[in-house]
């Protein structure tokens, strides 16, 4: 490796703690839903698991379910917390606030296209999968570039985690999902000259017993 080659950056990727809309299978999108009691307990465990670990910065979606999760990591590690709106969940437009069943009942054709993960499809008023993926990748790459060779945390949403998992594993956007994006679990990526790489996924040992 040449002396001026970019150094790899370690990325801790965390989905926010649980909300009532998670349990109801409601599409949250940009709606600012708070953590529920279980979510707050998950965040407390997450903070305990991160106690004393070294991070250069914690970047979080500015929605409260993510920001309150990120705050526990920042307090446990002493790292600065920065709100980053580009880490928000996908904007779901007319689907937002509805359950999967309600979407299916109201717009069966759109629901089918969404289920099939058509990259160019977006609900009315929402983002297409292609646009959302481009946003996630752009903000993540910009943030790791600030900390070459360092270690940062990104606290976001299920869709953001899915997008970065696909980027790290080179899985197409329209491929079915076979991996979990559990609330408050720990996921680890590395970013180097070849982009994102998967290191570890869905470490939820700290949540056992909840």
The reported pLDDT for the residue numbered 7 is 84
In a domain, 177, yes or no: yes
In a domain, 29, yes or no: yes
Please check the confidence at residue 2 and state whether its pLDDT lies above 50. no
pLDDT digits (tens, 9 = 90+) for 97-128: 999 999 999 999 999 999 999 999 999 999 99
20 is in an annotated binding site: yes
pLDDT digits (tens, 9 = 90+) for 181-201: 999 999 999 999 999 999 999
75 is in an annotated binding site: no
The reported pLDDT for the residue numbered 96 is 98
In a domain, 136, yes or no: yes
pLDDT digits (tens, 9 = 90+) for 123-167: 999 999 999 999 999 999 999 999 999 999 999 999 999 999 999
127 is in an annotated binding site: no
The reported pLDDT for the residue numbered 85 is 98
In a domain, 1, yes or no: no
SS3 content of the chain, % helix, strand, coil (to 5): 40, 20, 40
The reported pLDDT for the residue numbered 175 is 98
167 is in which domain, residue-wise? 9-207
What global pTM score does this model have? 0.95
In a domain, 19, yes or no: yes
In a domain, 2, yes or no: no
Positions marked active-site: 16, 89
In the sheet where 57-60 sits, what is the strand order? Answer: 81-83, 57-60, 151-156, 9-15, 186-192, 195-203
In a domain, 4, yes or no: no
CATH number at residue 42: 3.40.50.1240
The reported pLDDT for the residue numbered 1 is 43
Question: What HEC string does 25-46 produce?
Answer: CECCCCCCCCECHHHHHHHHHH
Q: How far apart are CA 174 and CA 185, in angstroms?
A: 24
Mean pLDDT in residue range 59-81: 98
19 is in an annotated binding site: yes
In a domain, 3, yes or no: no
The reported pLDDT for the residue numbered 4 is 52
**Tally of domains in the chain:** 1
16 is in an annotated binding site: yes
22 is in an annotated binding site: yes
H/E segment holding residue 155: strand 151-156
CA–chain centroid gap for 91, Å, is 14
Mean pLDDT in residue range 77-89: 98
pLDDT digits (tens, 9 = 90+) for 10-40: 999 999 999 999 999 999 999 999 999 999 9
Please check the confidence at residue 3 and state whether its pLDDT lies above 50. no
Please check the confidence at residue 5 and state whether its pLDDT lies above 60. no
């Amino acid at each position: 490796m040449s002396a001026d080659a970019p150094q790899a950056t370690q990325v801790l990727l965390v989905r926010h703690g649980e909300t009532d809309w998670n349990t109801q299978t409601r599409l949250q999108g940009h709606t600012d839903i708070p953590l529920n009691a279980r979510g707050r307990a998950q965040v407390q465990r997450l903070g305990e698991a991160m106690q004393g670990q070294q991070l250069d910065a914690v970047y979080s979606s500015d929605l409260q379910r993510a920001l309150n999760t990120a705050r526990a990591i920042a307090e446990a590690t002493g790292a600065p917390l920065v709100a980053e709106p580009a880490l928000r969940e996908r904007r779901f437009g007319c689907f937002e606030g509805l359950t999967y069943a309600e979407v299916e009942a109201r717009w069966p054709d759109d629901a089918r296209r969404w289920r099939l993960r058509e990259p160019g499809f977006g609900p009315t008023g929402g983002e297409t999968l292609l646009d959302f993926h481009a946003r996630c990748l752009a903000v993540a790459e910009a943030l790791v570039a600030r900390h070459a060779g360092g270690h940062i945390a990104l606290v976001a949403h299920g869709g953001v985690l899915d997008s970065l998992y696909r980027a790290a594993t080179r899985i197409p956007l329209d491929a079915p999902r076979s991996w979990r994006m559990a609330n408050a679990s720990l996921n680890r990526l590395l970013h180097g000259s070849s982009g994102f790489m998967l290191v570890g996924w869905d470490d939820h040992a700290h949540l056992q017993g909840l």
